Every structure is written in structure tokens, then in C-alpha cells.
Structure 1
């Protein structure tokens, strides 16, 4: 049965011949625990790295580890325990004698008997948790529906792994996007932050592939998501119209929830930081039956935080539970629920006014909060989800998903000064308005995918579809007493004095100005076929047919009753990947753009859908068996019906827009993620883009050039329990209304010490040099958060 026995050294020579770095074996330390950071992926390379670090000589048949995966090894282990952990679930066992270990098939009883009942089909999303890696070595289906690696995907795809989230204390989705190459944020107020990529706002958030539209006008919790719930976060650059039916060409964000594990594990984290910020987190996962065919996971998080802004504070709660059941050897049922609650006080409704009547910059303290002490914008979101997946004997799989998501807000605000500021602080009015609303969305999707042979080659096919119904209802109110003007506006006596002591209206918010109800129905069918033409060239051809229907009405008749309907909208997709060498591939892709809009013009009518074309070409590199990935991309986006702000307010009090044709955005970006050397993780990138209409630059309030880099290094030898890291973020200058915000750098730092196998302590510092810079939005600006320090301890079970 075994024709050859090859030691690890020979395997290393074969698999790393094209590598750029080499590793020297360390002396064997059989009894002493060592720190390991071996990512999930192919078992062969993982064993190679284990042998190098421990000095253990591994002997195994080469064919025994082919096409076998491992969950990796992260943390402190003795040699024997670490090797067993690395082999867990592989069906293999190790026999250690001295400095030699023989790898061979395990027995067909006991643990392997449990493994034989597990789902054997391929995974759409690779697990990053526990790998210690800043890249995803396994597949992702976020871009095309096909389970492809980063190199196989003919589109830019950025993955923020669980390890990076924990290293840099990224507690919310906003924190993640701040550190993600090619994506920017700009602050509207204390509760609303907009994401932007390639010059376009991101208006869809996905939860395990289920899309939820987001609106900057009515923040309802989706942009406050707590990362304790998520395993990793994908950002798909460019149009994602094949999967969503709404091809906003900037980016789409897909948040992948954590999954239960087959062994008991968990952690407790407690942290304290600047401005009396305290946070705790509990994460427990375990099999619920002896065989492990039923598994569960529970996550809870709580944060109580003040702020660098005067009298602003927030309490956040998050809960998540998920259950997996192996109904049969090939059928998996998953169900779960999550809940996010955000309760702030002192919420402001805008940044600081940029200029006065003379065009001079109005510099205010970083702590200045233009809001009343009682202003508040609570937000809640929760969802229930369930899926059923079956893996057929021929390797094909079918999956159906259902999700019910509910989000709401109840804001009673006073602020958002508007007008022309005079030198004595007069000339402005402030809004005193209440917003209450809720979103309810039901989503259903299905997918069938697998591989087939044609002309003696293996190809991949996915066919799927989704249906969603979104119902949105809101009420806008304002006080009947205390208003010196109408429609919820009143004169602001002195901008510089502020409005923090302005009293709550004696009448309350008792006048209803409008009560719109909106319904959005979407459905679509899609397919994507990956043809393997030869060993080096693969092309992906796909298409989607979508129906879209929007209805809006007001019980007060304030809005015009309106409707939008699009039927049979075709969204084609084409891509090709050509392997230039063992490490480099060239790719191209094209997709059309179709984006229904919620933006309205001065008359209160919703703009027609945005349409256009999205082109991308680039080179991708993959090194060290996928542990390091790099990409260089060029993109061009041509668009009509692009929404441009008029600078005025529409009938509903929101910003009014006009539709513009002939908008062209082009640029390039470079990105690298993964392991540069043993223990050295990195993710970073540089992005350049310019958006023009009739040779005039637009979207200038977001930077045209950005650079982001995060890196950590785990020390070896006597300091093997110490990890140190740093981050850098650079934003080019931006401008609005002829007012310029200069470019600036932000630096971050972190350190973690693994005290023992279970206990670790961390220190994170953001804005290390306390840079005093600001960002622009409309006619306002907001300061960057000052230096923030967080200390935390973590206990792993």
C-alpha cells in the first residue's frame, strides 16, 4: 500500500521550491509548551511547519496527506498535544518515538467513528478562526457563488480574518472598515457613518450572503454590528450584481457568522480603556450530544462607554446563538438568532460647521458636541435565520436559506445647525425633530452547485436564486411649542455657546409631519459556470435576471404615492483567470451595473436606477501554499443616473439629489495579506481612484488616494509568548464647497503576551501620535478620535 516513505524535509523541498523565504528547524522541545501560529489549510504544509518549529522528524506516505485539510494550530501546546490537534478530523494518527513521528491512518472506531458522521461536502466559506492568519487560504463564494480561492476569483476580494479582528481590537463593523484597504468611512454624525469604495457609497450589508439595504438617512443598527458575532468579513470590490441583483460598483460587505465547533471551546474577555470604556465578551461553543451531531454556540457582549465628545455616551449589547444538527451523514440543518442593541445619549445630528460668513474655517475643540444632553438615537436590530444543506454522493450540494431581519430606531434629536454663521455666533437655525421607524425584511435563497466533467476536464457550476420583501415604515415629528420657526426648526441663539442645556420641549414631539410606508420586493435567478479550458486558463460566464418593485405612500398625503418597477433586468458576468506561473495569475472581469435607488430629487421623487458597466483587470499572486496573497488591480466604471447632492433639502427633510449621466471612475489598487515569514502577519494596500463627469472631478469629500497597513509579529525564543504589532492609515486631501481638509497619517500599535496556555493580556493604542485632523461631510467636519488606549485580558477554555 505504501510505495514510498518521505520525511518532512523532502516534502518541504517539493512544496516550497518556488518560495521566497526559508525556515530553519528549531531544536526539539518535547516537554515544553510552544506558541504555534499554523493556519488552516492543506495538512501537508501544516505538518511541515510543525516539524520545523519543533524539530520533530515526521515520516508519512506522500499520498496520505494529499487533499487533506487541517483546522490549523493556534496557541501554546506541547509537541504531542499540538500534533494530535493538527491531525484532528483528518482520520490520521501519529506515533512518536524520540524525535521521530510516524503518520498513519487511524483506527476506524472512537473519534474517527464520530468524524464519519460529519458532513463531508465542500465548504463555501473557509474558516479563519484559530488559524492565526491575516488571509483566507480556503474558498469564498461571496463574489460569484462559486467556492473559489482568492487567486481563482477574477475580482478584488479583501478578507478581514478573526485573528486581525482580535489583534487590533476591532469591536464593530466600522472599526473593521477603517482598517480595510480600499474602503473608506466618512462621519455624518455620532450615529451615522457611511462606507465608500472606488468613489461609491456602500449601500448593502450581507449576513452570510443575505443582503440588507442600508440608508444613511435612517440609521437602524446595521452599521453598528458587533464583531463578536462574526467569523470573518469579506469585502467584494466592484459590482456584485451577479449575487445581489443590485450592482453598486463600489463594494459589497459580507459578514460571515461564527459556526459551532465539534469540541468544547470558548473564551472570556474583559477590557477597559480611555473615557471610561468597559467591555466584556463571552464566547462558548460545544457539542450538545456525545456523538457531536448536534452542536451549539453562544456569544454575548456588553460595552459601557463614554466618549471624547462632551456628554456623549453609549451602552451596547449583543447576543448570538446558533445550532447545527447533522440530520443525516450528508444533511446539515442550521438555525440561529442574533440581537444588537445600541442606546446612546448626547447624540449629535451633524459635525461642526466648516466656515463662517467670511469663508473662514471655524475651529472648535475636538470635544465640542453640537447636541442637547438629552438627544438620543437608540437603534436595535435582530434576526432569525435557518438553512438546510444536503451534500449528494456525486459531490454536488444543495442549500436553502431563510432569514427574518428586524431593525428599528427611535430618535429624539435637537441639533444639525444650518444657515450662515456670523462672527457673533448667530445666523443659524437648528432642527428639533423626532424620527421613529422600523425595517422588516424576509429573505429566501437557494443554491445548487457542484462539479462535472466535459471533454475530459472538470468544470464548476452554480445555479441559485433569491427573493426578498422589505417593509419600511417611519414617523417624523416635531414639537408644537418652543419653535421660533416652522417644520421643526428654531433659531440658535449662539453657535459657540452650544445647545447642550437647551430644554426638552414641554409639548414633546407631538406634531406628525409625515408617515411614509415603503415596500420593496426583489427576486432573481442566477448562474455561474467556471470552465477549465486547460491547466492554466479558466473562464467564468454567468448572468442574473432580476425583478424589482418599489412602492411608497404616506398616510398624511405628504409624499406623492409613487412606484418603481423593473422586470427582467439582465446582469451579465464574465471573468477569466490565466496562470502565468506557479505563483502568479492574470485576470479580467466584466459585469453590468443595475442599482435601484432610494435617493430623491427636489420634488421628492425617487431617482431612476443607476446603470452602467464595470471592468477590472489585474494580477494575483499566491505564495507558501496560499498563506500569502497579493493582488494588483486596475478598474474602470462607467455609470448613468449617478446621484449627486444638490446641497438642498427635499420635501421629507433629507438631502435632495440629481441624476447625472456620463460618470467615469477609474483607478488601481495594490493589496497584500497573509504571512511574510513564520509568525509575521500582514494586511495592507494602496488605492487610487478618480471620478469625473464631463472632465470635472466629483466625490471629492472622500480621498482619491489611501494607504492602510496592519502587521504583527510573534516573537520566538525566550519571548515566544509575545506578539507585537503596528498599523498605519493615510488619507489624501479631500474637499467640499471649495474647503480643503489636508492629508494625514494615523498610527496604531498593539502588544499581546500569552501568559500561559489559557491566559493572555493585550494593549491596543489607536491614533498613537494623537493626530489632530478632521474629515468632511457636506458643509460640516468631524475630528478624528484622539488617542485611545485599551487594555484587555482573555481566558481561553
Structure 2
């Protein structure tokens, strides 16, 4: 690490010398207004004769620094309107202020912004919660955004519903249906964030977000502790919820589909005061959903109000509440077991016993965000959140699998509760030292997380001699009757008695300085984070850990639309577990080395990102493969290394043709193994596909008698799939390659959109799975056969 630091500091000295010597520059400050004298946001400003462009902010202001003395033409442009040009003269060591009128009303401006955002698959900027004070093109890291247009065109209704097809290298294993998302990327399960908060309190959470509350989703590949909370070395995803926009608008949607899917959603966005200072956003959704397997269901409703208040020109407060309620069948029913190999049973086979109590979940969250502009260059943000998750239900798991395929089904109690109190404060700013520009980020991140679970009670539905036969199932009253649970004690007491509690407190302090040289075409990032954590796992004593993790990045503009970058970053992540020998659980540590190239094509209509990386991950826990049905012991793996290549393409290739396409090669291996584990040095890391390929294309006719009619479609192709991690010995059957084809039609006219999508068009038997040694059986989770989803959206 010292070697990397020395080399980059030497580079800084070499780069800084000639830059600091530059003389004869000035600054242009400007304000853009509409012809009804209102500020014009997000207008592109070009300094003609140079390659320099900026965009006006929400208040219509822009600034261009380090401009050589002379006379220039400034051009302000907005898609769909004529450009406005104004002459400006820059003097040495002085700031010139200019106002540019744009021939468009505020109403027309809002309409064109909304219109230009429709159908866009490539984002230029990250959300405020990502804390990047720069365009994504300039960030020295691979960051991909799944936009609202992506989600709408693909008829995604929950976080687990095909989102990952939009991200290179992302796969799902052990997904528990639509209960938890559990995304793997770059060789490990990545962390789940919402609006900049790490919302993971246990291995199994959080509950999948309903898309009615989601604006877009940001995937950060590699460590991100410098700008967010604790995270995995492989990366994280950040769900950004919908906020008030200041426009009075709404959208209602109805969706119906195969297997009794009925869903309605309403999105209202508007003003609560005439002056536009008090705004609101309200999202409502409800669905009934069954399955291709008998007796399964997943019914949910969502209630999410948001209020924002612009206190003055500098201060804005936003308060948000989200309730997600789920009522679903036993969450273990997605698993099927058989000793004869994968897919040895019909796709719709279920072990689920009708009559079991449902699993009920109430997921509450409340957050407050305060943003304050200290001045035109510095901004302070403070936010706090409280999350409360309550679950009451069960999970099926076989007590035994016989050689003839018959099983003894066992139902385990799974009551759980999670409480998280989280707080963050950070400052973003810009300053100038000589000819060097600085983008500064610094902040404090704190959290207190508690998780309680009672899985101590179980009940066998079947008995020896009266096993359940999946080839000749009998779903009548089970021979041992239905379970009766003892809930006389509080969940907290039951959890402590069962060793099912996790407690974590952490504090993180971080600072980052991105130094810009040669008119900010060369950017060097120097950052670091100090993290302190106190954590107790599954009834064990509290353990403390602390660490400083550095970050060094370099990003260089080859031209106005192309950047190359290099990055070294480290991660530090506490983890929960309980070993059989009660040995100390150490946090996950890891490092990422990454290089990449990003390019915006044809004035930013579409972009590409290509990256190569190497991630080292230490001390990761995994479930003990010798666990019985009611055991939750963990083992330390040792060290893993993941290397790979990723390519993402997204945007509008030609008019009305939007595309998302990606490819990833992932090579993960164990480089060190702890004594007593089931792994060997050089063995492939479980739970990924060596090759993943995804695509989605959307095309709409804009002329002729079929104007408004469109077609869409895409595929997911997974090759050389590694199984999950429960087998101690090699076995004869690997997971086969996976290919899923989806297609759809849509029609848009005025405010109405009709959508029809067909998923798994080829009706393939698709699944993930592995082998359990202690059951001497294969298990798999099958995906749905060919399904149809039809939606009606009305905007008002």
C-alpha cells in the first residue's frame, strides 16, 4: 500500500509542477433564465473554441474556472429549442459575471426536461445520496445506473424481478423467492443500500423493495466506503426512492399476469403550497400474486408518502415514510430436493403443505434529509433514518431425503425483528489552489443495528414410513398434524435463548479530495476512511474492530467524451456468525484494483464502460455445511480472489432505439483456506457464472399509421455456472448453462401506454441449485415457465 501511495504522490508532484506555474486565467460565472424570468436548470453551456462544457444547476447557475484571458462565445443549448449565444471577455485573475436568457418559458422547460428523460437508459449523474460531486463519466470507478425507463419498459415490479439483467456480472442465488434480493457480483454477495444507508442487518435481508417507491437503482462495483457506509469489497447497490419534483403530475397503473397476478399502483406528485415551497409525493401499490407451484402466494401493499419543504434559497428538508406489508406462503417452499440430480422432478413440484400459517412481514422506515447550501461551492447534507422490520412466520426444510426420493418435511419457526437507527452528515465542496481544482467530500457515518430471530422450534410434518412422495403427493392433513408454536415469551427473549441475535454499532469518518489538473482533464483522488465497529453475533460476546481504509484513484480525459481511470480501494465490513468452537469472528477486509475506460457516444446519447479488476477478500464467513435443519453455525473460508472483465452498453443508439447490453467474465478462486473448511486452494468460488451476457432492446415507431407502436425484448445467458457452497466433495452434475428470452409489445398515445411482455418465451426449465452433503441430495429452485404480463399506464 505504501508503494502505491508513494507512486501516486510522485505523480502528483510531477503533474502539479507545470500546472501551478500556469498564469493568465480568469473565471466565468453565469445565470441562465427563461423568457418569463425564471431560473433554467440543466441547460448545457459550451465555451466555444474549447472542449469545455458545463450544465446549469437547479438554480440556473454555472461556473467555468481557469479560462485563459480572451474573448469567447458562450452557447446555451437545450434539446428541442434554439441555442442562445452571448459574447464574454475574460481578464486575467478576474471573475466575469454574465446572464444568458433562453427563449423558453418555465412551463416549456419543465415539459422538455420530462420529455427528454423518457426512454433514457443512460444516466449522466449519480443521486445526491451517492455523494459524487462530478458526472459519472469522470468518476474513477465502474458505476452503473438502472433508470426508471429501464424498470418501466421491462415491467419490473420488485427488486428481485429481473433488475440484474441491466448490470454486467450480477446474478442471484439462494433468493428465497421475492423475499430477499441477495445479489452476487464480482465473486461475492454485495451490500444493499437505500438512499445512501446500508440497510443490511442480517444475511437474509432486507425485504425486496416494491418498484412503486423506486426512482432508480445505482450499482457501485468495488468498495464504496469512502462515500457510503460500510460495504463489501465486491460492491453495493443503492435503491433511490421517489421524491417530489415540483411538477403537478400523476400516474396510475394496472397490471395483470399469469398465475393470478393482479396489481395496482398510484403515483401522485405535486405542490401543497402556492409558492411551491411545500411539495409532496405519494406512492401506493397493492398486489395479489400466486405461483406456478400450487399453494404459493405473495400478496403485498405499499404506502410511501414524502414531503419536502424549501425553507429558503439555501435550505431544503425532506421527510419520507415507507411501509411495505407482505403476506406470503412458507418461504422455504421454493426449494425442491431429490437424490437423483437437478430437475429430476417436474418444474411445478412443491413440498409446501397447504394450511400452514402465512409468513407476515411489516417493514417500516422513516427518514429525514436536510440539505443546506453553505455558498455556491459548498453544500452540507445531514440525514437520519429509522428502520423497523417485523416478521412472523415459518420456513420449510427437509429433515431427511431418502434414496427413493421420498422426504420428511420439517417446518421451522422463523420469527424475526430488525431495528436500525442510522445517521450521516457530509459536506461536498469545490475550491481552487493555484491552477489545481479540488472536489472535497468529508463526512461522519453512524449506525446502531439490532436483529432478533427465533428459529429454535421445528415440527416434522411426516414420519418414517409415512414420508412425503413428490411423485405421488398427498396434500391432505399431514400424519404429524400442523405445528403449534410456543410464543409465550417475547421475541427478544426467545431470540437470546436460541442464540439468534445480532447487534452492531459503528462509526465512520471519511474524507476525499479529488485534485484536478490541466483544466480538470486529469483528476487524482486521495481518500481515506476510519471505521470503528462493536458487534456481537448469535449470542456471543461483543467484539470490537477498527481500521483505516485508503482509496487512490486517477481519471484522465482523453477527449471531451472519453475517460480512462485506475483505482485502488480497500473495504472493511463487520459480519455476523457463530462457530462451533466459539472462535472470534473477524470483519471482512479486502482490496480492489481496477482499470477502465468510459465513453459517451454521439453527444451522450449512449455510453460504454469497460473495466478489469482484481478483488482480494479475507475472513469471509459461510454457513457450516454440516449444519442440521435447526443449526446456524458458520465457518471462516480464508481468502478469495476474484478477477474479471466487464462491459456495459446503455442508451439510445438511434432515434427511438434504446438498448442495454452487457457482458462479464468472472474468475473467482480460493487462494487461502482455513483449517477444517470444505474448500481447497485453487477451487472455484461458489455462486457465480464465469460468463454472463444480457441484453434489452426497445424500439418505438414515431411516424406512419402505426405511430406509437413499439417492440422490446432481451435475453440473459449464463455460462459455466458455479453452484452454491454446501458440498464437501465433487459430484457428477454441474449446473447447466442458462438462457432466458423475453419479448414484448407496447403502444403509447398521448397519456396512455399499453404494455404486453412475455417472459421465458422459450418455456425453458430454468433453476439454480447445489448439493447438500448432509442430506445426500441435490436441491434447486425453479423459475416460472412462460408467463405473460399486461399493463395499462395513464399519466395525468
- What TM-score comes out, normalization by structure 1 length? 0.80
Partner of 1:32: none
SS of the residue corresponding to residue 626 of structure 2 reads strand
Per-residue CA distance 1:612-633 (angstroms, 9 max, x = gap): 2111111111123433221110
Give distance in 2, aligned partners of 1:295 and 1:576. Answer: 40
Partner of 1:590: 568
Partner of 1:405: 387
SS of the residue corresponding to residue 399 of structure 1 reads strand
SS of the residue corresponding to residue 137 of structure 1 reads coil
SS of the residue corresponding to residue 179 of structure 1 reads helix
Check if 1:194 corresponds to 2:182. yes
1:599–1:484 CA distance, 2 compared to 1 (3 A): same
Per-residue CA distance 1:452-505 (angstroms, 9 max, x = gap): 0111333210111111111222223436897869xxxx9844354447434484
Per-residue CA distance 1:372-426 (angstroms, 9 max, x = gap): 113432222111111111112342111110101111211134x322544312x34
Which structure 2 residues correspond to residues 486-497 of structure 1 after superposition, within 5 A? 492-497=467-472
1:476–1:139 CA distance, 2 compared to 1 (3 A): closer
Shift of 1:263: 2.1
Partner of 1:538: 523
Which structure 2 residues correspond to residues 178-193 of structure 1 after superposition, within 5 A? 178-181=164-167, 182-190=169-177, 191-193=179-181
1:309–1:522 CA distance, 2 compared to 1 (3 A): same
Q: Which runs of 5+ in 1 are unaligned?
A: 3-10, 19-39, 52-57, 65-89, 95-102, 116-125, 554-558
Give distance in 1, aligned partners of 2:429 and 2:47. Answer: 30
Shift of 1:92: 5.2
1:664–1:491 CA distance, 2 compared to 1 (3 A): farther
Shift of 1:764: 1.3
Aligned residue among 715, 722, 725 for 2:709: 722
Partner of 1:68: none
Check if 1:548 corresponds to 2:530. no
Partner of 2:429: 450
Shift of 1:127: 9.7
Give distance in 1, aligned partners of 2:252 and 2:49. Answer: 38
Partner of 2:606: 628
Conserved 8 A contact 1:350-1:416: no
Conserved 8 A contact 2:330-2:394: no
Shift of 1:538: 0.3
Which structure 2 residues correspond to residues 404-553 of structure 1 after superposition, within 5 A? 404-413=386-395, 415-423=396-404, 425-426=405-406, 428-478=407-457, 492-498=467-473, 500-503=475-478, 505=481, 508-510=484-486, 514=498, 516-535=500-519, 536-552=521-537
Conserved 8 A contact 1:347-1:371: no
Conserved 8 A contact 2:46-2:76: no
Check if 1:238 corresponds to 2:222. yes
Shift of 1:777: 4.2
Partner of 2:786: 787
SS of the residue corresponding to residue 173 of structure 1 reads coil
Give distance in 2, aligned partners of 1:211 and 1:129. Answer: 32
Check if 1:213 corresponds to 2:200. yes
Conserved 8 A contact 1:346-1:373: no
Give distance in 1, aligned partners of 2:445 and 2:381. Answer: 12
Per-residue CA distance 1:193-223 (angstroms, 9 max, x = gap): 5210011012x3211101111534x45xx34
1:378–1:269 CA distance, 2 compared to 1 (3 A): same
Per-residue CA distance 1:305-359 (angstroms, 9 max, x = gap): 1111111112110111101101111110111101111111254345212534xxx
Conserved 8 A contact 2:392-2:416: yes
Conserved 8 A contact 2:522-2:555: yes
Shift of 1:48: 6.5
Shift of 1:244: 4.0
SS of the residue corresponding to residue 166 of structure 2 reads coil
Aligned residue among 350, 368, 382 for 1:369: 350
SS of the residue corresponding to residue 378 of structure 1 reads strand
Check if 1:579 corresponds to 2:557. yes
Partner of 2:153: 167
Conserved 8 A contact 1:188-1:351: no
Partner of 1:147: 133
Shift of 1:697: 2.8
- What TM-score comes out, normalization by structure 2 length? 0.80
Conserved 8 A contact 2:151-2:163: no
